[in-house]
Amino acid sequence: MTICRFTIKNIQKLDFYQDIIRVLDFFRRSLLYNDQRIHNHLKKTGVNMRFISSLSKSVALLASIAMLVISSLVFSNPAEAANYTVTMGAGGLQFGPKKVAVKPGDTVTFKNAMLPPHNVMFNPAKSPDPNLSKSLSHKQLAFRAGESFDINIPADAKAGDYEFFCIPHRGAGMVGHLVVE
């Protein structure tokens, strides 16, 4: 089995690539020639090349800094809302985790696990904002494993510790805390 054969056509292709290299070399030389001509002209007119070089470096540096600042403002991602999961009936009659730290705009998903039914009620007496506690509460019981519901923390939520519990299992200690930062 033959993997590669050098034929007249392959050699002609090599000549074609050498021609391309010659053309590129020609352009490189002409650019150097023109650059030298500009340098000689500026030298004759008394322009200091070091000053021009220093000035062009300063302008390039300022342009780079400006582009960096502009791009950081334009392309920066605003903080995205997070989603947290609290398991109801995690390892028995408890919430897992028992304490969740959130920020306004975040979502907390309460998911049913063991020993249903479960729900989530926020205690207005042990919360910084009783009205928010009432609006976050989910009275409806979840009976099936895997059943879940979301609670969205409003953008204007008052910071603090909001206590929540499961009505059927509150006496068994199924209590948790939602800390709004």
Low-confidence ranges of the chain (pLDDT < 70): 1-20, 23-56, 71-79
Q: Which candidate in 4, 39, 166, 177 is catalytic?
A: 166
pLDDT value, residue 66: 74
CA angle 128/132/137 to nearest 5° reads: 115
pLDDT value, residue 178: 97
pLDDT value, residue 2: 44
pLDDT value, residue 30: 62
pLDDT value, residue 139: 94
- CB-hemisphere CA count at 13 Å for 19? 6
Is 118 tagged catalytic? yes
- Strand (E) or helix (H) holding 132: helix 130-136
Is 174 tagged catalytic? yes
Is 169 tagged catalytic? yes
